[in-house]
Structure 1
Amino acid sequence: MNSLVTKLDHMWISFTFRQPRLPATAAPKVQLSTLPPDPVIPSKKPFKVELVGGKRYSWCTCGQSRKQPFCDGAHKLKAPGLFPLRFVPEKDTSAWLCGCKYTNNPPYCDGTHKQDFIVSATPHEQSDS
């Protein structure tokens, strides 16, 4: 059995390490920073929403979504490294979800939008691209 395992291991190793060489011009671009980007500020005010208990929601953390305050997948191209915050409310409720994306109690507004760094910031304008 050892010779069979050795032969299979050898075959597995030879298959896993064989990859086509890519020319230098086709090499993927490397992102130097491992930190996710900072979110943009889509709104300086919170969003009042009606939440259904037991339903899963995806709150936008990057600020790029056109469906604020919820995620529409824009982070995949515009803010790689940021992901939506998924949450499920226990019961039907009205809630104020953060619009500035800098809350310390995500996804809920905690008043951070009243701080100087948010008040003095220019809100993000959505582009067509």
Structure 2
Amino acid sequence: MNKGQRAGDSALAIDVEQGKSYYWCSCGKSSKQPFCDGSHKGTEFKPLTYKAELTKRVFFCVCKQTNDQPFCDGSHNKK
């Protein structure tokens, strides 16, 4: 899968709830970063579903360049 456009230059910390599904924006066009708002329609991109195994804080990628989707791996530091 190709990587989406940059939607920011840092990760977003989100408190997730065990058992809940989250739909990470992979295209970078969503106005509800880091989550999908359907802006990918008509492109090759689709949201990535993340189901939280534990209630905790996770760091979702916003630059869309990560190799550990949907999580930040520091790729935003490698412009």
TM-score (norm 2): 0.93
- Could you tell me which residue of structure 2 aligns to residue 46 of structure 1? 11
Find the counterpart in structure 2 of residue 115 from structure 1.
Answer: 78
Following superposition, the deviation at residue 89 of structure 1 comes to: 1.1
Q: Which runs of 5+ in 1 are unaligned?
A: 1-35, 117-129
Indicate the structure with greater helix content: 1
Higher relative contact order (CA 8 A, sep 6+): 2
What secondary structure is seen at the aligned counterpart in 1 of 2:14? strand
Deviations 1:15-51 (A, max 9, x none): xxxxxxxxxxxxxxxxxxxxx7641101011111110
One-letter identity of the residue aligned with 1:95: V
- Return the structure number with greater strand share: 2
Matches within 5 A, 1:65-76: 65-76=30-41
- Pair member with larger Rg: 1
Q: Report whether the alignment pairs 1:94 with 2:32.
A: no
In the alignment of these two chains, the number of paired residues is 79
Aligned to 2:24: 59
SS at match of 1:57: strand
In the aligned structure 2, how far is the partner of 1:83 from the partner of 1:53? 23
In the alignment, structure 2 segments of 5+ residues that lack a partner are none
RMSD: 1.3
Pick from 84, 91, 94 the counterpart of residue 47 of structure 2: 84
1:38-92 superposed Cα distances (whole Å, 9 cap, x missing partner): 4110101111111011001100000000100000100004xx1110000101010
TM value normalised by structure 1: 0.58
